[in-house]
Amino acid sequence: MDALKIFLKALGCRLNEAELQTCANELQSYGYEIVNSLQEAGIVVFNSCAVTQEAERKSRRAIRKYYRDNPGIKLVVTGCYATLSPEDVANKLGVDLVIDNTQKDNLAKIVKEKFEIPTSSVHAAEANESVLFARGKDRAFVKIQDGCRNSCAYCIVTVARGEERSRTPEKIIAEINSLHTQEINEIVLTGVHVGGYGSDNDSSLAKLIEVILNETDIPRIRISSLEPWDLNEEIIAKFKDKRLMPHLHLPLQSGSDGVLMRMGRKCDRDSYRRIVQSARDAIPNLVVTTDIIVGFPGETDEDWEHSKEFIQEMGFSHIHIFSFSSREGTPAAKMDNKIEPDVIKQRCKELEHINENMREQLMRANQGLVFNVLFESYSIELYSHEKRFFGYTDNYIRVAVDVPDGLEELAGQIHRVKLDCVDESGEFMIGRTMQHE
């Protein structure tokens, strides 16, 4: 165990992962070494989650596990659980330091000062080398803002994250260019309320995208979850640049107007339909994914039927399905007419079936087309001695390509791929790189 070695772990959203990625770079600049093994580490930094009661339980279990597996470590806990329940976290066995979300941007400095560990100029000199915190080493999440001004009835994150705060374009550009020098070929712009970027610095998401397109050369840029009411014509126009990937994640949460009203959402079915149609009309090959919360208080059988009908009408390529979980401290937790767990479970099964059908329909509609694919991972077929490489098209369809073992590895590279067919699992498409025809 080495006090200069730090193990980083994030639970929950992509924003938590992006924050640790930035923190890792800063820790390296102080001379710490980022390691992938808990047993090697002298310090653990855990970015916790509290979006649901279950997320809090997972955070508590993780803290106990880190201490149990390595009792000699210095354990630092940050994130939403640490912010909402700081005393509870501080009293957990093994926790040495609690850092709430308002202090998170200074986490590396706080850790250095707290533990007063002499740092290494050798590791500091290597600070520009890849921290390996980017997903698959080929896609990285870049935090552009924090906090949220929306008031959705089910969400505790607005309390845990506070008011909206935008990072400066200069810091964002510097991070993206640094990632690109580490051979990262795709970045995902993320935050609590991505569409709220610029609300505190006289800017906007569209202006930020323009700056990124002008001042970086990274080949692929994605926008993470974007509230539908934030998708305006100015943002849609930016997709004329092919470096901005034709994929939008627009959370719907329910296809029933009555449920949407109780949720406090700013978008009903008609306005959501118009927004999606405008985007599809303007952006070729656009794929739209979404979030759905199943079993929100008061969701009647009629609401559920309306929701399923609208979801199928929208033709999403993928749905992130969430069972409603009552979160203490939110308006939804106090609502009457809670839905029975068995009913929620059954509705989730129905929605998963719809999800599978829509995903397959989308893949079949793209069969025979050619896309740019960023390959991120591979597996070796033992009997055929072929490598199966996996990646995503620019419009976020998962693709596998088989190539003979011994050929140059595709991982981390972008290639033109023809989509031949849907895999028998229904989870991805089989394609072939054009140079291997």
> Is it the case that residue 209 has pLDDT exceeding 60?
yes
Of the residues 125, 159, 175, the one at which a domain ends: 125
Domain-embedded: residue 271: no
Residue 378 has pLDDT above 80, yes or no: no
Are 235 and 144 found together in one domain? yes
Task: Specify if 258 maps to a domain.
Answer: no
Q: Give the CATH number for residue 214.
A: 3.30.750.210
What mean pLDDT comes out for the span 39-46?
90
Q: What is the pLDDT of residue 380?
A: 59
Q: Say how far apart CA 326 and CA 156 lie, in whole Å.
A: 10
Give the three-state DSSP class for 232: coil
pLDDT given at position 2: 65
pLDDT of residue 129: 46
Q: Where are the alpha helices (DSSP H) in 330-435?
A: 341-365
- 3 versus 393: the higher-pLDDT residue is 393
Q: Do the domain assignments include residue 203?
A: yes
Q: Is residue 237 part of a domain?
A: yes
Is residue 146 domain-resident? yes
Residues 113 and 42 in one domain: yes
Q: Is 401 exposed, middle or buried (0-12, 13-18, 19+ CB in 10 A)?
A: buried
CATH number of the domain to which 93 belongs: 3.40.50.12160
Condensed to tens digits (0 to 9), the pLDDT of residues 75-101 reads 999 999 999 999 999 988 789 999 999
Q: What is the mean pLDDT of residues 160-187?
A: 92
* Total domains, the chain: 4
Residue 347: which CATH number?
Answer: 3.30.750.200
Higher pLDDT, 380 or 15: 15
Write the CB contacts of 373 (distance below 8 Å, at least 6 apart in sequence).
391, 392, 393, 399, 401, 414, 415, 416, 417, 431
Average pLDDT over residues 103-120: 81
Specify whether 381 is located in the same domain as 342.
no
Which of 56-67 are b and which e, b meaning 16 or more Cβ less than 10 Å from the residue's Cβ?
A: bebbbebbeebb
Q: Is the pLDDT of residue 115 over 70?
A: yes
User: Does the pLDDT at position 136 exceed 60?
Assistant: no
pLDDT score, position 385? 52
Q: Is residue 318 part of a domain?
A: yes
pLDDT at 382: 47
Show the domain range for 187.
Answer: 134-245
Give pLDDT, residue 364: 95
128, pLDDT greater than 70: no
- The better pLDDT of the pair 141, 135 is held by 141
Of the given ranges (137-151, 301-315, 362-376, 396-410), which has the lowest mean pLDDT? 396-410
Residue with more model confidence, 435 or 43? 43
Cα angle 359-296-58, degrees, rounded to a multiple of 5: 80
Q: Which of 365, 384, 411 is the last residue of a domain?
A: 365
Average pLDDT, the chain: 89
Kind and range of the H or E element at 62? helix 53-69
The reported pLDDT for the residue numbered 400 is 93
Q: Are residues 227 and 310 in the same domain?
A: no
Mean pLDDT calculated for residue range 238-243 = 97
